[in-house]
Structure 1
């Protein structure tokens, strides 16, 4: 993520924290990500693009030995530090990753980071930056825009957001820009821009950065019987996918 993109998020820390309680994240995304991560007891974890630190705190509570949250948006980091301190969780939040962090982590988690690569060189650089902190054999788990997301803006409105491609004729073109509008239950009205990358472009960038065993996993519904029925529609066409790989 560039400093330009980080500026989009400076004032959105409370929003990004509250999104964790929105049904599609509460019942689908978050449990799907945590299930894919598995046991982190004793592990060293980097939350790359940590935002307000929601996942970083979860992983620390789950028993990770060391958790570092990295983000360029200082507003997000300030909120993350306050929230971790309130829970008395020992999580380090940083705005830069030095060379001393290379090869130090068992797991890197990057939720909604790849969509902010504006051009192919940015995507390749981002993949390298996410893989470099891993020990050999360590895992990267990332959430890009789903390669087959539904480009009709109204499709995701029941879940609290719209995704509107700049060019509706080519929504699945590599590097295509789209606007994400967040408006769940009229509590928020915020917009950010993101960029679409195909499965092939992401896999190629990851492998060039040193990744092996690249695999894709759909988010799944983990919900009680009273979960909102519209979540089934989200599962059919999720806006994000889980991609997993290992560092060579």
Structure 2
């Protein structure tokens, strides 16, 4: 990935002090074996990994580009394994070896289309057939502040929705059409829109979806659906 899609300097300095709070629809995880192999990609300080350990998951790993965040995760969440990503999005995991991936507020930190596609392709590689990705990421916001900065940075980055934060990060908010396209090779299992706070404490709306890799012989119509929690 390019530096724009990594930004390790930001996440290892100012970003290391941020708080992340996207909610988890725990009923979406009810049918998953607690011995399943779970990967929290972009784990930050381990909030989600710790939550899943509390829910009884026994094999949870978090990966992140920022050594400071990973170090904090190791100190705060003893029940999970944490690793620094040295060549994101490449993972040291065999193909078809992961049952569930958490991808919370990660796409917003990977601004360009190619970087996001590369990540999703890598996650598809490591997921077993029928494996799940739980995605939570920020939609395009409708307030004046966000619309103004989308417009201000659209020419610079070539995509409406990419913007620079006041403290130096480059982020992206998404159309639902783009998210549908990005995960077009997966089956939609459940989806919802939720209220969240951004890493800078501002109210926002996020799209959450649970998607599955196809299983041999399974029909798309039989797997697709929507749900609430």
Quick one: structure 1 residues 90 and 68, their matched pair in 2 at CA, closer, same or farther if it must change by over 3 Å?
Answer: closer
Aligned to 2:149: 165
Equivalent-residue separation in structure 2 for 1:140 and 1:94 (angstroms): 20
Indicate the SS of the match to 1:106.
strand
Equivalent-residue separation in structure 1 for 2:179 and 2:109 (angstroms): 13
Verify the 8 A CA contact 2:42 2:103 in the aligned structure 1.
yes
Which residues of 2 match residues 3-14 of structure 1 at below 5 A? 3=3, 4-12=6-14
Verify the 8 A CA contact 2:193 2:205 in the aligned structure 1.
no
Correspondence for 1:34 among 26, 39, 43:
26
Quick one: structure 1 residues 165 and 244, their matched pair in 2 at CA, closer, same or farther if it must change by over 3 Å?
Answer: farther
Structure 1 residue 13: deviation in Å? 6.3
Instruction: For residues 149-180 of structure 1, give each alpha carbon's deviation from its aligned partner in whole angstroms, at most 9, with x where no partner exists.
Output: 22423xxxxxxxx8962425979x84532234
Instruction: For residues 6-43 of structure 1, give each alpha carbon's deviation from its aligned partner in whole angstroms, at most 9, with x where no partner exists.
Output: 22210246633xx35xxxx4xxx32x443433355222
Which residues of 2 match residues 46-57 of structure 1 at below 5 A? 46-57=39-50
Aligned to 2:125: 132
Structure 1 residue 104: deviation in Å? 1.5
Verify the 8 A CA contact 2:49 2:80 in the aligned structure 1.
no
Q: Which runs of 5+ in 1 are unaligned?
A: 154-161, 182-189, 222-233
Indicate the SS of the match to 1:100.
coil
Please report the TM-score for the alignment, with normalisation by the length of structure 2. 0.73
Aligned to 1:114: 107
Structure 1 residue 146: deviation in Å? 1.5
Q: Which runs of 5+ in 2 are unaligned?
A: 197-202, 215-229
Paired residues, what number? 201
Verify the 8 A CA contact 1:48 1:130 in the aligned structure 2.
no
Aligned to 1:199: 176
Correspondence for 1:89 among 58, 63, 79:
79
Correspondence for 1:217 among 183, 192, 213:
192
Equivalent-residue separation in structure 2 for 1:35 and 1:164 (angstroms): 37
Structure 1 residue 78: deviation in Å? 1.2
Aligned to 2:134: 141
Equivalent-residue separation in structure 2 for 1:164 and 1:36 (angstroms): 35
Instruction: For residues 29-86 of structure 1, give each alpha carbon's deviation from its aligned partner in whole angstroms, at most 9, with x where no partner exists.
Output: 32x44343335522211000001111011111211121110111111111111112xx
Higher fraction of helix? 1
Equivalent-residue separation in structure 2 for 1:214 and 1:146 (angstroms): 19
Please report the TM-score for the alignment, with normalisation by the length of structure 1. 0.68
Quick one: structure 1 residues 169 and 52, their matched pair in 2 at CA, closer, same or farther if it must change by over 3 Å?
Answer: closer
Equivalent-residue separation in structure 2 for 1:143 and 1:91 (angstroms): 22
RMSD: 3.1
Quick one: structure 1 residues 35 and 13, their matched pair in 2 at CA, closer, same or farther if it must change by over 3 Å?
Answer: farther
Indicate the SS of the match to 1:46.
strand
Aligned to 2:220: none
Indicate the SS of the match to 1:70.
strand
